[in-house]
Chain A
């Protein structure tokens, strides 16, 4: 408590005025000889106390009014336990500052961002610390790099401190999400370290967004981070929270991806952009601009996104040449600019190389087992299917380099050798795709004993079922209509599949799975046993698809139906090797590559966004796997990274990697430190550092709350009371008419 014009407080002496007036009025009374004295004495005896009390009340009210006027002009203020109070402790302290510099801190509220406000408040406060000259020291950590403090135990008034202030002033928001748990661990270590000032105070500066601090949307329950913070607060002498957040609405591009698993050059492919509206009102006419590397920009519009919802825009694009293609989508500027951009990298292939193994060769080409498959995957004429088909007979499968294929289709094979099985297994485990078409050549015993055991078949084969004379047949029954392989035939297009007649097929018992990982029946036959027709299962990183009937006309007449070509192409696209996932990273996630040593030298360089110089990466062959592991962890900037790897022949292969912001950063739903303390932190020792107080703290009236409004209110109330009391007492003393 203090006074801006303390001298005017002397006006309180004017309290004497009503008292003097009162005393003077007593002196100036008139003398009157009175005959009816006994009545007057009686009345006086009855009313003496009441009259005195009333007079005293009026006198006190009038004195109070004078005192309040004096108090009002002297402008008292109160210093709350905020910024100013932080400095009221006598002992020098070490201030450990944890500054949230996650992307959400760039959210604009009005003209300044959360980080801007935080910096202003902190710099003002640091100036104040400097003026106080108490021997405090400062440690500054950001949430993006908790392991690397910007300052550690820097004494205020030192040259380092001036430099630190400049660094703080220049600090910008990182692309890295707030690693609170990691930051708190670092904080704990720092607080436990010896040396420096004994008093250790914690100041956490954040925008206190729901994504960082609250677990679960339905109920406000503090996250694990909050619990860690509470534990830290107990260890610190004092723990303060500076809340620079505010509720703002925001649009954010959450996802950009190619819809198909395989993107091939020269074929139009669909891409999707997903935009989330984190605001509390619907947004309309959202403009999107898509930039695909080497093409002119594409503009789109999303007509409306409801509050709290997401909307997806679809566009088609044809990439002319194979290679790694970078995409970038941007929406209009809003409160948070950083999440308006999203990157994607799509590996575009010239075609999908696949190996077709024929289990039943025939001199008559049309009678070959793979005849129809070949026609479907590699149609004659100018039509481009996107597949590069290489066909071998089973007998020719001796030394094949599977690494160059993305997919292997085995059609009606009798048996496989041990080495073939091992090669096939390794191929699938590394991500290659495998499709089985069965038929009359299949040796069920071999399949059940060898292939099932290795996880290459989904179920054990029983007996060939159906009618050899083709007098009776069954049809497909879709078990999973959403599965990409047969999705095209779901709903109204189902008749295309219903027309297909299957005369024979291998019976499989779903109750007897082998070593296969989670086999899934996509379609069954309409026979009484509902025998599995198409089954998918996984092995390592690859997928295996099994058709229990033949790929030619021997057991069915599917190849004569239009649905055959579609199903073959979809099955191939779905099953072929896919490494799209590896091209998309979030900021902070390590970039990992495992390069086969038989092809690559191990030298690589990385071009980072905003970095003109390439970063050289060198890796050694891992003897166990025979691969060269490449690892780069400093993906702290969003954007397109370009990895150039050198082959053994000295050629360079470039690959783009898109590094994006954590989509959660776009969610600016504000919780606020006060709410968190109120809900969770009662009694935890966490206190609110009010930024308004701190901002004013370096001014002359630092951290003060002026009380004149309250005094004025009190004065008006007192005046009202005085008027009322005077009126009421006067009225009661009026001469009755």
Chain B
């Protein structure tokens, strides 16, 4: 699979060198698709489209048994997909997302933007309605969900234009996000979740209450997960106005333990409110994110 050159575009380090977000998104999605089996890509609807040979991994319920009786081979019935699914991507532009701008692997913001664009592209290509909400301390811009071909361009354009905010506290807006989502559907939240966990839980509960299917793409920078620093460093808080002078190696164990506790807690909160949780490191290929999304779709589809 790795021999396919398009697969390399899933590597964030490669993607980071591509400027155009739209191009990035296309490369990601197509790279992703080219590596996938065909079955999950097409939708399942009432209008028959074509037969396709069964491959392991297809659901048995879609096998056309009559056709099997005739041809002695297993075929899957494929249908023209129709959807009225609406998916909103809630994109966190807070200051903490800017971490990593000067690092080689890029910032969390860049990673999250590429991810959001890729998702939008994937959704668009499936004729789903896709929308985008960017927020920091307040909702900055809202692009309502739509399946118009121009929709993707708007989203990508907006993501490309957006810069991480100087604002830090996103707790209030987190809480009010659910209220702003009028239409019921899928909600993909892309954030580093550096908010108060109670706030996160409250807003997730509200999403659940409103009947949204929510997926949380928890974007963490690789540095935040591994803390690889060795030299004496003065850490300056991006959201808190505090500084620490320390030898990072001395604090690594405790720091990693604290991060692990935080991740566990976030995962617990998500699980509690039936939110699909996907932890992403900026070093992870975006494939994981997209695969996660696909699984999410399938899970929700089965319900």
- Rounded to whole angstroms, the CA-CA distance of A43 and B244 in the bound complex is 11
A41-B244, A51-B247 given; A25·B255 CB < 8 A:
no
Distance of A54 from chain B, by nearest CB (Å): 7
Instruction: Decide if A40 is an interface residue (CB 8 Å cutoff).
Output: yes
A29-B245, A43-B255 given; A37·B250 CB < 8 A:
no
Instruction: Decide if B51 is an interface residue (CB 8 Å cutoff).
Output: no
- Rounded to whole angstroms, the CA-CA distance of A36 and B263 in the bound complex is 12
Distance of B241 from chain A, by nearest CB (Å): 9
Distance of B285 from chain A, by nearest CB (Å): 22
Are B235 and A32 in contact, CB atoms less than 8 angstroms apart? yes
Are A42 and B254 in contact, CB atoms less than 8 angstroms apart? yes
Are B99 and A33 in contact, CB atoms less than 8 angstroms apart? yes
Q: Which residues of B contact A43 (CB under 8 A)?
A: 251, 253-255, 257-258
- Rounded to whole angstroms, the CA-CA distance of A324 and B183 in the bound complex is 150
Are A51 and B250 in contact, CB atoms less than 8 angstroms apart? yes
Are B235 and A733 in contact, CB atoms less than 8 angstroms apart? no
Instruction: Decide if A735 is an interface residue (CB 8 Å cutoff).
Output: yes
- Rounded to whole angstroms, the CA-CA distance of A158 and B242 in the bound complex is 85
Distance of B216 from chain A, by nearest CB (Å): 17
Are B250 and A33 in contact, CB atoms less than 8 angstroms apart? no
Are B249 and A734 in contact, CB atoms less than 8 angstroms apart? yes
Q: Which residues of A contact B48 (CB under 8 A)?
A: none
Are A37 and B238 in contact, CB atoms less than 8 angstroms apart? yes
- Rounded to whole angstroms, the CA-CA distance of A5 and B246 in the bound complex is 42
Instruction: Decide if B26 is an interface residue (CB 8 Å cutoff).
Output: no
A44-B251, A734-B249 given; A32·B259 CB < 8 A:
no
Instruction: Decide if A633 is an interface residue (CB 8 Å cutoff).
Output: no
Interface residues of A in 701-737 (CB under 8 A from B): 729-730, 732-736
Are A31 and B236 in contact, CB atoms less than 8 angstroms apart? yes
Distance of B250 from chain A, by nearest CB (Å): 4
Closest-by-CB residue of A relative to B235 is A34
- Rounded to whole angstroms, the CA-CA distance of A40 and B235 in the bound complex is 9
Closest-by-CB residue of A relative to B251 is A43
Are A47 and B232 in contact, CB atoms less than 8 angstroms apart? no
- Most B CB within 10 A of own CB, among A28, A40, A51: A40
Are A37 and B237 in contact, CB atoms less than 8 angstroms apart? yes
Q: Which residues of B contact A7 (CB under 8 A)?
A: none
Q: Which residues of B contact A38 (CB under 8 A)?
A: 194, 240, 258
Distance of A729 from chain B, by nearest CB (Å): 8
- Rounded to whole angstroms, the CA-CA distance of A401 and B258 in the bound complex is 130
Are B234 and A29 in contact, CB atoms less than 8 angstroms apart? yes
Are B99 and A35 in contact, CB atoms less than 8 angstroms apart? yes
Q: Among the listed stretches B130-138, B148-156, B221-229, which one makes contact with chain A, having 4 or more residues with CB under 8 Å of it?
A: B221-229
Are A47 and B250 in contact, CB atoms less than 8 angstroms apart? yes
Q: Which residues of B contact A36 (CB under 8 A)?
A: 96, 99, 194, 224, 259
Are A34 and B250 in contact, CB atoms less than 8 angstroms apart? no
Instruction: Decide if A39 is an interface residue (CB 8 Å cutoff).
Output: yes
Are B259 and A35 in contact, CB atoms less than 8 angstroms apart? no
Closest-by-CB residue of B relative to A730 is B249
Are B244 and A32 in contact, CB atoms less than 8 angstroms apart? no
Instruction: Decide if B68 is an interface residue (CB 8 Å cutoff).
Output: no
Closest-by-CB residue of A relative to B168 is A35
Q: Which residues of A contact B236 (CB under 8 A)?
A: 31-34
Q: Which residues of A contact B224 (CB under 8 A)?
A: 35-36
Distance of B113 from chain A, by nearest CB (Å): 16
Instruction: Decide if A382 is an interface residue (CB 8 Å cutoff).
Output: no
Instruction: Decide if A46 is an interface residue (CB 8 Å cutoff).
Output: yes
Instruction: Decide if B104 is an interface residue (CB 8 Å cutoff).
Output: no
- Rounded to whole angstroms, the CA-CA distance of A223 and B100 in the bound complex is 92
Interface residues of A in 7-55 (CB under 8 A from B): 25-26, 28-44, 46-47, 51, 54-55
Q: Could you tell me how many residues of chain B have their Cβ less than 8 Å away from some Cβ of chain A?
A: 41
Closest-by-CB residue of B relative to A50 is B250
Are A26 and B245 in contact, CB atoms less than 8 angstroms apart? yes
- Rounded to whole angstroms, the CA-CA distance of A170 and B204 in the bound complex is 111
Q: Which residues of A contact B161 (CB under 8 A)?
A: none
Q: Which residues of B contact A40 (CB under 8 A)?
A: 235, 244, 251, 255, 258
- Rounded to whole angstroms, the CA-CA distance of A131 and B262 in the bound complex is 82
Q: Could you tell me how many residues of chain A have their Cβ less than 8 Å away from some Cβ of chain B?
A: 31
Q: Which residues of A contact B59 (CB under 8 A)?
A: none
Distance of B137 from chain A, by nearest CB (Å): 16
Instruction: Decide if B233 is an interface residue (CB 8 Å cutoff).
Output: yes
- Rounded to whole angstroms, the CA-CA distance of A113 and B11 in the bound complex is 93
Q: Which residues of B contact A44 (CB under 8 A)?
A: 244, 246, 251
Q: Which residues of B contact A29 (CB under 8 A)?
A: 231-234, 245
Instruction: Decide if B158 is an interface residue (CB 8 Å cutoff).
Output: no
Classify the secondary structure of A's interface with B: helix
- Rounded to whole angstroms, the CA-CA distance of A729 and B251 in the bound complex is 12
Instruction: Decide if B192 is an interface residue (CB 8 Å cutoff).
Output: yes
- Rounded to whole angstroms, the CA-CA distance of A674 and B70 in the bound complex is 117
Distance of B112 from chain A, by nearest CB (Å): 13
Are B234 and A32 in contact, CB atoms less than 8 angstroms apart? yes
Interface 0/1 of B93-117, CB less than 8 Å to A = 0011111000000001000000000
- Rounded to whole angstroms, the CA-CA distance of A31 and B234 in the bound complex is 5
Instruction: Decide if B273 is an interface residue (CB 8 Å cutoff).
Output: no
Are B235 and A47 in contact, CB atoms less than 8 angstroms apart? no
Interface 0/1 of B74-107, CB less than 8 Å to A = 0000000000000000000001111100000000
- Rounded to whole angstroms, the CA-CA distance of A28 and B247 in the bound complex is 12
- Rounded to whole angstroms, the CA-CA distance of A641 and B83 in the bound complex is 146
Closest-by-CB residue of A relative to B196 is A38
Interface residues of A in 192-221 (CB under 8 A from B): none
Partner of B254, one of A31, A34, A46: A46
Instruction: Decide if B47 is an interface residue (CB 8 Å cutoff).
Output: no
Partner of A733, one of B232, B237, B238, B250: B250
Interface 0/1 of B244-280, CB less than 8 Å to A = 1111011111111111001000000000000000000
- Rounded to whole angstroms, the CA-CA distance of A30 and B245 in the bound complex is 9
Are A37 and B240 in contact, CB atoms less than 8 angstroms apart? yes
Are A34 and B238 in contact, CB atoms less than 8 angstroms apart? yes
- Rounded to whole angstroms, the CA-CA distance of A38 and B244 in the bound complex is 11
- Most B CB within 10 A of own CB, among A25, A32, A38, A47: A32
Closest-by-CB residue of A relative to B103 is A32
Q: Which residues of B contact A26 (CB under 8 A)?
A: 232, 245
Q: Which residues of A contact B232 (CB under 8 A)?
A: 25-26, 28-30
Q: Which residues of B contact A734 (CB under 8 A)?
A: 249
Interface residues of B in 200-239 (CB under 8 A from A): 221, 224, 226-229, 231-239
Interface 0/1 of A95-118, CB less than 8 Å to B = 000000000000000000000000
Are B233 and A37 in contact, CB atoms less than 8 angstroms apart? no
- Rounded to whole angstroms, the CA-CA distance of A733 and B227 in the bound complex is 12
Distance of B259 from chain A, by nearest CB (Å): 5
Closest-by-CB residue of B relative to A36 is B224
- Rounded to whole angstroms, the CA-CA distance of A29 and B247 in the bound complex is 9
Q: Which residues of A contact B192 (CB under 8 A)?
A: 35
Q: Which residues of A contact B255 (CB under 8 A)?
A: 39-40, 42-43
Q: Which residues of B contact A736 (CB under 8 A)?
A: 253, 256
Distance of A258 from chain B, by nearest CB (Å): 97
Interface residues of A in 540-589 (CB under 8 A from B): none
Are A733 and B249 in contact, CB atoms less than 8 angstroms apart? yes
Distance of A735 from chain B, by nearest CB (Å): 6
- Rounded to whole angstroms, the CA-CA distance of A47 and B247 in the bound complex is 11
Are A35 and B221 in contact, CB atoms less than 8 angstroms apart? yes
Partner of B258, one of A39, A55, A732: A39
Are B259 and A34 in contact, CB atoms less than 8 angstroms apart? no
A25-B232, A36-B259, A37-B242 given; A54·B237 CB < 8 A:
no
Q: Nearest 5 CB-CB pairs, A to B?
A: A43-B254, A733-B249, A37-B237, A35-B99, A39-B258
Report which B residues bind A (CB closer than 8 A).
Answer: 95-99, 108, 192, 194, 221, 224, 226-229, 231-240, 242, 244-247, 249-259, 262
17 contacts across the A-B interface (CB closer than 8 A): A26-B245, A30-B231, A32-B233, A33-B238, A35-B239, A36-B194, A36-B224, A36-B259, A37-B235, A37-B239, A37-B240, A38-B194, A51-B246, A51-B250, A55-B247, A733-B250, A736-B253
Supply 6 further A-B pairs (C-beta < 8 A) apart from A35-B238, A47-B251.
A26-B245, A39-B259, A40-B235, A47-B250, A47-B254, A733-B250
